[in-house]
Amino acid sequence: MCQAGTGGGAECQKRPLLPATQLTRGTAPAYGKGGRAMADTIRYQVSDDVAQITLDDGKVNAMALAFFEGLNAALDRAERERPGAVVIAGRAGVFSAGLDLKLLPTLPPAELARTMVAFGRIMLRVFTFPIPTVAAVTGHAIAGGAMLAFACDLRFMAEGPFRLHLNEVAIGLALPTWAIVLAQAAVPPRRHTEAILHARAFSPEEAFERHIVHGVARPAERVVEEARAAAAPLAALDQKAYAISKSRHRAMVVKWAAEVLEAEIGALPSRATIK
């Protein structure tokens, strides 16, 4: 992953999380496990110096190992091509509902552990990405979906009956340190208890009032347009200075989260208890 530096002059290192299949230029799918295309569920395209990564599995954008590999491949491409900014968008009505809780209990222990480690590492990679990132929260962003939105530098949410919800405590799962780090960066301190510990679900308007998102798109169909508009001035920033400053700004918390990531995965409940 792109690890934040630990010293004053350290720069963000580019270390791919997982092997990524080479992508062609233009609009193209990312690739998942074994190099097979993910049926265009993660798309990448660039216009006006802003890369857009669109998550769309036709359902709820549930996260599993292939999802993380595909997102990682899209980020690899952005690091190679160096657009000025990156927008991560979902499909209409759903940004992501988080981990695939139907699949996870069926995985062998080693595969489950690999999936959960990949989950933490890709989210930290987004959080430390050397290019400005903006989330176009196109609908529900629950659990891992909320974490992905929190990992981005800015967040714009579509209006509507949607939830931004870090729900782990409500369903009996302790949040990993890396997820708490992302939430603390995105949620103002006075809202940490309700968002992180009390598993409070926020409507788009509530998230905006609490300064968790930077705008609510009205109508909802404008959310990607508004996210791209917010990305445009970020694309004009000096990219090297941005990457180094971001790395230094987040170095201490990322180092802390990365150091305990695998140990916390090892302490997760058995697969039979993940519901």
Residues with a catalytic annotation lie at 168
Note whether 173 and 197 are within 8 A (CB). no
User: Residue 240: CB partners within 8 Å, gap ≥ 6?
Assistant: none
CB atoms within 10 A of CB 205: 12
Rounded Cα distance between 172 and 275, Å, is: 9
Strands 215-217 and 154-158: parallel
**SS3 of residue 132 by DSSP:** coil
- The encoded tokens of residue 188 equal 């103002």
What is the full DSSP assignment across 14-71? ---SS------SSSEE-B-GGG-B-TTSEEEEEETTEEEEEE--SSS--B-HHHHHHH
- The encoded tokens of residue 144 equal 């891992």
| Share in percent of the chain as helix, strand, coil (round to 5) | 45, 20, 35
User: Residue 114: CB partners within 8 Å, gap ≥ 6?
Assistant: 65
Task: Find where tokens 């903006």 sit.
Answer: 134
Rounded Cα distance between 245 and 228, Å, is: 22
Question: Is the omega angle on the peptide bond into residue 108 within 30 degrees of 0, that is, cis?
Answer: no
Rounded Cα distance between 212 and 120, Å, is: 21
